[in-house]
Amino acid sequence: MFKFDRKFILGASAAAAVAMLATGCVESGDAAAPSASSADNVLTYANGKRVIDGGRYYATVNDKTGPYYVNTAAEKGGYTYGRTPTANELEAWNTTVTPWRLPPKGEGTAEEGEAVYEAKCVMCHGDFGSGGGGYPALSKGNAYDNMATLKHQRTGPDMEGPIRVFGNYWPEASTLWWYIMEGMPHPDTRSLTEDEVYALVAYILNLNEMEIDGEEVDYEYVLDQEKFAKIVMPNKDGFEPVIDGANGLENVRAYFADPANFGAQKIASADERCMSNCQKETAKVVGISIEQKEFLPPLSEVRDLPKVENTSGVDLEAKNTYESSCAVCHGAAGMGAPVVGDKKAWDAVVGKGMDKVYARAINGTDMGMPPKGGTDLSDDKLKAVVDYMISQSK
């Protein structure tokens, strides 16, 4: 839950899930299987502590949980195949980066990160991290100056809303490093080296005009593991409840036990679980009606662009769209998509029928391509881009 003068509800289960990730799923002394109180349907652990993850647990009775059978032998460790992984194996598999678990060693500069960004990120996240095509912005200028906007509310026609981007909103930089490493770029995840990820993080810090230990992250700044550990995000303390450290779970329990913390809406009973009509509205919502009568200077009604003679025989609009939005996947081998210019690959695609080719482009594919490639093109314009790509592969 983000914290400022007026509080908004993120959700108890979401906060609890993050708290358990940070401090461990089961506290010392908590029983693995909670029990339910028949009086108020509140789930508690055997030690009496309230369950805070928002889920519901069902005890195993006659080898069943509800209508489903369970393998009770397996629950007791009766495995026929395999073995328990060693501590070293678990450590090798655990690639998670958190505020308490630093990323692996490596280094990179913002200048190097810009080159990686321009090659693999700009088509989705826009020039200089400005966002676009349904993908989030990564920067809106100086992170420290943008902190003040988090209290903005659009109560008037000319008022700016809050800016919520990495630099001034995210509480930890570890989330950025881990997400890039594990999930980016979208069509070819886990393809970046540790040095490339450090470089991208340095570039994003540079776009947000941030400092590390009092030093500006400029183009030549070398970000490594030691310096990464010193990053302090401006909004580190801007969320509630506090989930950091060993007391994270207890902080969440105490916070959501008090309905007053929920802002404008109050839960009827802190101990009552329900799926509908659970809250009483106590805030008055006032609508704002604005009538715009005139513009100074008057708005132009001219909609045509200067005519440019095209003698190339190529649909220039389709070509430009391909280069800005599609080339990242279809312009290089190894990205999981047919490469423009590869006649054999495109003959196989077109051989299935153009109606299917168009449908896959419009609806997306199970290989990772989002609908319309993440653009907001009309179906006809998207088909023109597909036609251009095919024409370049003949």
Amino acid at residue number 195: D
> Residue 44 CB: number of other CB atoms within 10 A?
15
**How far is CA 54 from each of CA 16, 24, 43, 50, rounded to the nearest angstrom?**
8, 16, 9, 10
Distance CA(45)–CA(285), nearest Å, equals: 40
Asked if residues 168 and 209 have their Cβ atoms less than 8 Å apart, the reply is: no
Helices within the chain (DSSP H only): 12-23, 72-75, 87-93, 110-120, 122-125, 143-146, 166-169, 174-183, 194-207, 225-228, 248-256, 316-321, 327-330, 343-350, 354-363, 379-391
User: Tokens 């289960």 correspond to what residue?
Assistant: 13
Question: What domains does the chain contain, in order, with CATH numbers?
Answer: 1-94+244-298 (no CATH), 107-228 (1.10.760.10), 316-391 (1.10.760.10)
For 101, phi then psi, to 5°, come to: -135, 105
Length of the chain: 394
Contact 170, 180 (CB under 8 A): no
345 neighbors 338 (Cβ within 8 angstroms): yes
**Average pLDDT of adjacent 10-residue blocks, the chain of 394 residues:** 47 48 47 47 67 65 82 73 87 87 95 95 90 86 95 85 94 95 89 96 97 96 97 93 83 80 56 61 65 70 74 79 82 73 83 87 80 84 86 80
- Yes or no: say if 262 and 9 are a contact pair by the CB < 8 Å rule: yes
**Model pLDDT, residue 163:** 94
Single-letter residue type at 313: G
Tokens of 101: 């678990």
pLDDT at 142: 96
Neighbours of 251 (CB within 10 A): 18
Cα 10 to chain centroid, rounded: 15
* pLDDT given at position 22: 47
The one-letter code for the residue type at 261 is N
Q: Is the peptide bond between 297 and the residue preceding it cis, with omega within 30 degrees of 0?
A: yes
**Other beta carbons less than 10 A from residue 363's beta carbon:** 11
Strand, coil or helix: 30: coil
Among 376, 323, 329, 324, which Cα is nearest to 185's?
A: 329
Whole-number pLDDT of residue 21: 46
Backbone φ and ψ of 348, nearest 5°: -65, -35
Count Cβ atoms below 10 Å from residue 228 Cβ, excluding itself.
22
Please report how the helices 110-120 and 194-207 are oriented relative to each other, as an axis angle in degrees rounded to 10.
100
